[in-house]
Amino acid sequence: MELEKPDLYRVAEDGASLVLRAGRCGTCGELNFPLSPFGCNACGAEPAKLVEEDMDGHAQLLTFITIHQKLSPKIDAPCVVGEARLANGRIQEIMLQGAGDRFADDMTVRAVPVEVTRGDKSVIACRFAPAEG
């Protein structure tokens, strides 16, 4: 099955989690995610300085809210969106899998593949679920 955003992630070998596609800056060492076509977010180095590197899909969930309105055709309501600190230390908005009562602030979550419908086809989207253990 196709990925919804193949430039951001791929399915890990275990089939149950996602590897995030990041880019390591050869100038300052920043791990950029997403892998930007504009170069390094931290020091402004040109794109050629970035080398793709797998980033662990675990993240620390900082806060989250449930959205009940369908705000865009690409967002299925209700849905839960959160802010999380990703493995590279940067804070990013993420979409959580399932209802809000599965989640708590400061919980560790991880990127998982979730099948969603886009138009008349199914694709694999990136969602975050509670990490086991």
The binding site for Zn ion (CB under 5 A) comprises 25, 27-28, 30, 40, 42-43, 45
Closest distance of CB 81 from Zn ion, Å: 28
8 Å CB contact between 86 and 19: no
* Closer residue to Zn ion in complex, CB, 45/123: 45
* Closer residue to Zn ion in complex, CB, 25/95: 25
Closest distance of CB 28 from Zn ion, Å: 3
Closest distance of CB 41 from Zn ion, Å: 8
* Closer residue to Zn ion in complex, CB, 45/131: 45
Quote the CA–CA distance of 62 and 83 in Å, as a whole number.
Answer: 6
Task: Look up residue 24 and give its two tokens.
Answer: 């390591």
Closest distance of CB 112 from Zn ion, Å: 29
Residues recorded for the chain: 133
* Closer residue to Zn ion in complex, CB, 44/78: 44
8 Å CB contact between 112 and 12: no
The alpha-helical segments, DSSP class H, found in 8-122 are none
φ, ψ for residue 19, nearest 5 deg = -100, 130
